[in-house]
Structure 1
Amino acid sequence: MKPVQPLSRGASSSGAQGPDFSGQPYGYSRAGDVFQLLRDGRARTRAELAEITGLARSTVAARIDSLTAAGLIGPAGEAVSSGGRPPSRFAFQPSARVILAVDVGATHVLIALLDLRGTVLSELRETMDIAAGPTAVLDQVLELCGQLFQQAGRHERELVGMGMGLPGPVEHSSGKPASPPIMPGWDGFDVPAYVQKRFAVDVLVDNDVNIMALGERASYWPDAENLLFIKVATGIGAGIISGGLLQRGADGTAGDIGHVRVPRGGEVMCRCGNFGCLEAMASGPAVAAALAAAGVPAVSGEDVLDLARRGNLVAISAMRQAGRDIGDVLAACVNLLNPSVIVIGGGLASAGEYLLAGVREIVYQRSLPLATARLRIVQSMAAGHAGVLGAGHMVIDHVLSASNVEHLVQVQQQ
């Protein structure tokens, strides 16, 4: 099995979804087009594929042979015979290739190896300081990726793509961070190019909250066409899925709700330089600072969680107030975007219902009744895995597109 080289047409970090403008005629002329019929996992015979595509059986047989050689499909038993030898069936083989998914946070990294169905095969979690700079962080990430292959018993030549989430704004078309406030030295750094020195595959990079939204939806809310994912941790941000599509905005900053002013903000300074931002009032460090000012020893969001879990009433009250502050911003989002589901995730949301209670209190009180009639506000079910699941699905949709499968087949034939 040959390693797959990144596409020369510059798609290594675009991840763009949409029509295939490769110049091929519309239909099922290529192996990559035929493969799209098999992505659902259902086994089909050559005759069934010929009937669906309108291609000659000899052409279908050639496409099947190409996809089988690339390891993307394989035999899946035999169909019922109508006389003579039973026809063979073929189906998608998601375990044939693997992808790397990386969720980089402010103080940690989670790396997972997934198959082409999005199933996590193995993972590693390590502490890491994003402020150490791109070279130091990415070198550590790449070293851990190498360890992960050994841990999973897989070969690097099976890798077809890599997805990464970063805790700051990202220009998704290039994979470069764009003025990230907590990432000194990362602005404009070419993350895909640096990673491709080690792994010569397509590398997609996005904001961490965006990939969390993708992961939560793909894994637990596949029918939710309008979903907001809210991460509450060192920072606060939103991943917006509207009409079934992730919304990044004109410059990749859509969902940056952490810097919306809240009524209770007053003259509290935010690290962005403005006053009264949601992040300055309701993030993990902000709640910890409020507790410390009240005489309760707390330095970080983890301290706040520990206190709340042990039943400290001051910490519980502070978390509920943080939820109310978040609710103030989300009430406007509900009226504007009309989501059917709001998922609350991130470190500060992991202590149970305290934060969610405050969010629900304000959202249901201040949003339009019609907008909240069917609205569900829930805790993340993917929890700490939302990021790697989303990064994985982002890459899967990219590498299994018709054009990229065709590229993989052509490389395999060389």
Structure 2
Amino acid sequence: MTGRPMTTPGVSVGDVLALIRANAVATRSDIARVTGLSRTAVTLRVDQLLAQGLVTERSEGPSTGGRPPSRLRFAPDAGVVLAASIGASRAQVAVCDLAGEVLAQNEFTVPAAHEARAVLSAATDHLDRLLTERSAAPVYGVGVGVGVGVPTVVDAASGHALSPADLDEIAVSDLFRTRFSAPVRVDTDVNVLALAEHARRPGVNDLLLLKASTGIGVGIIAGGSQQRGAWGAAGEIGHIKVSGGIGRPCRCGDTECLETVAGGWALLEQFTALGRTASDLPALADLAAAGDPDALRLVRQAGRSIGEVMAAAVNLLNPAVIVVRGDLSRAFDPLAAGLREQIYRRSSALNTRALRIEPAAPDAPTGVQACAAMILDDTLAPAAINARLAC
């Protein structure tokens, strides 16, 4: 293993845990070499982590003549985090371990005409039931926290969601914090997914995560950092006015928004107007993927409409990749054909010459896994571990 030694005064027990979690060190000797800590200082920090159950230590290393070295591993079963990924048409909740692996999960439908607070309350009820079912698990162990993704603008500092329809602030973080007595992190669903996709592509510092589903939004990674804007509304492209939306009313209360021609709810209405039926947006997307002419035409046109708006984002931000997620990505080929048609026609050649437009990988994190990863970044950060252990 290699690594540039850190200065000893700045190497806390939380820093040591971060090295172990990242598999950057495997033994106490590795920690001393990488950090510059003395043997005594290494022992103090490792013993604190062992006492909290955050790491395990077993003699598994190769022997060089004496007793084999004990190897350190992060212990994901030391606690749990809760995750709630709430979309415009359905929501998923889960209990996850400290590695973000789902231990138990549930899903419920979000009614078309819903009251946001009722949906959030339902999410907490479902999480409560999952915790009760896992009563033998270390529910309130080290690292517990709640990660929440919602399909609307979020003030990241306060954890309040802001509905574009009625501009009514909802204290999402307070609701979950009161229910579970744990740290809470809330963000827009597309921002949560963008963070997860960026983590899978550490060499890509400029990325757009397009979620094309019941609603339409973009998560922005620029220069390696997530961009939320002054009020958390960066990426709200679903409510940009488009040429094909003339006179069409939007769910936000305005008219002519992109969602009125390319949002999932609008596509289902258009499909019904053709005398066809689909039970939901995934079913419509599957029909398009299977080559159904009507569904294929609607999805491709949706791609063109979204591409009309995305072209401006490409010119402004010059991303290396656009990752497409959401229910419409089930029909990726016709959707991407429409996207590329408009993006390449409306964007400069310099901005598109190496641009990749691709679906999420089959093993990409789900919404709840992305929410779990988001809160784990907070609860297992060195500063959070140090505060918990009063270091």
Query: Which bin holds the TM-score, normalised by the shorter protein?
Result: 0.7 to 0.9
Letter in 1 for 2:46: I
- SS at 2:146 equivalent: strand
- Offset at residue 29 of structure 1 (A): 4.5
CA contact (8 A) 2:215 2:264 kept: yes
Structure 1 partner of 2:326: 346
Deviation at 1:85, TM superposition (A): 3.6
Query: Is the Cα–Cα contact under 8 Å of residues 225 and 241 in structure 1 kept in the other structure?
Result: yes
194, 197, 216: which one aligns with 2:178: 197
- Return the match for 1:170 from 154, 159, 163: 154
* 1:291–1:46 CA distance, 2 compared to 1 (3 A): closer
Specify the alignment match of 1:277 in structure 2: 257
| Cα distance, 1:242–1:324 mapped onto 2, change above 3 Å | same
Q: What corresponds to 1:317 in structure 2?
A: 297
Which one of the candidate residues 110, 119, 133 is aligned to 1:128?
Answer: 110
Moved more, 227-236 or 145-154: 145-154
Distance in 2 (CA, whole Å) between partners of 1:260 and 1:231 is 15
Q: Paired residue for 2:29?
A: 47
Contact residue 165 and residue 205 of structure 1 kept, 8 A: yes
Note the C-alpha offset of 1:130: 7.7
SS of 1:328 mapped into structure 2: helix
Cα distance change, pair 27–340 in 1 and its aligned pair in 2 (3 A): farther
Q: Which residue of 2 aligns with 1:104?
A: 86
- On the 8 A contact 2:160/2:169 being kept in 1, the answer is yes
- Counterparts of 1:321-336 in structure 2, within 5 Å, are 321-336=301-316
Matched with 2:335 is 355
Percent identity for Structure 1 against Structure 2: 40
Pick closer, same or farther for the CA change 1:41–1:148 going to 2, 3 Å: farther
Which position in structure 2 is the counterpart of 1:160?
144
- Confirm or deny that 1:36 pairs with 2:18: yes
| Cross-structure match for 1:15 | none
What is aligned with 1:9?
Answer: none
Give the aligned residue type for 2:108. E
Helix, strand or coil for the counterpart of 1:156? coil
Separation in 2 of the partners of 1:108 and 1:276?
Answer: 25
Distance in 1 between residues matched to 2:34 and 2:363, nearest whole Å: 40
Q: State the shift of 1:164 in Å.
A: 0.3
Alignment of 1:215-364 (within 5 A): 215-218=196-199, 220-297=200-277, 301-302=281-282, 304-305=284-285, 307-308=287-288, 311-364=291-344
- Please report how far the alpha carbon of residue 304 of structure 1 lies from its aligned counterpart in structure 2 after TM superposition: 3.2
Gaps of 5+ in 1: 1-24
Structure 2 contact 88–151 (Cα < 8 Å) conserved: yes
Counterpart contact for 1:211–1:386, Cα < 8 Å: no
Aligned residue type for 1:104: I
From the superposition, tell whether residues 138 and 260 of structure 1 become closer, same or farther in structure 2 (CA, over 3 Å). closer
Distance 1:167 1:63 in 2: 41
Is the 1:27–1:33 contact (alpha carbons within 8 Å) kept by the matching residues of 2? no
Quick one: which of 57, 79, 85 aligns to 1:75? 57
Question: How much has 1:124 moved relative to structure 2?
Answer: 1.4
- Deviation of 1:312 after TM superposition, in Å, equals 3.2
Amino acid at match of 1:108: R
Per-residue CA deviations over 1:89-115 (Å, capped at 9, x if unaligned) read 322223322211110112311112222
Partners in 2 of 1:151 and 1:330 — Cα distance? Answer: 44
Q: Describe the superposition over 1:39-84 as per-residue Cα deviations: whole angstroms up to 9, x where unpaired.
A: 2124433233223323221121111110111121111435455564
- Does the CA-based 8 Å contact 1:165-1:206 persist in structure 2? yes
The equivalent position to 2:163 in structure 1, one of 179, 183, 193, is: 179
Alpha-carbon separation, structure 2, partners of 1:52 and 1:74: 20
Q: Return closer, same or farther for 1:310/1:86 CA change in 2, 3 Å cut-off.
A: closer
Tell me which residue corresponds to 1:139. 121
1:346–1:384 contact (8 Å) kept in structure 2? no
Shift of 1:127: 1.6
Please tell me the residue identity of whatever aligns with 1:196: R
Contact 1:216 1:382 in 2 (8 A): no
> Which has the higher mean CA deviation after the structures are superposed, 94-103 or 77-86?
77-86
| Residues 271 and 277 in structure 2, CA contact (< 8 A), matched pair in contact too | yes
The 8 Å contact of residues 345 and 383 in structure 1, kept in 2 or not, is answered as: no
Moved more, 294-303 or 386-395: 294-303
Unaligned runs of 5+ in 2: 1-6
In the TM superposition, what whole-angstrom CA distance separates every residue of 1:11-43 from its partner, at most 9, and x where no partner exists? xxxxxxxxxxxxxx9843531122222221244
What SS class does the counterpart of residue 169 from structure 2 fall into?
Answer: coil
State the shift of 1:383 in Å: 8.7
**Larger RCO of the pair (alpha carbons < 8 Å, separation 6+):** 1
Equivalent position SS for 2:219: strand
In terms of mean alpha carbon deviation, does 393-402 or 72-81 score higher? 72-81
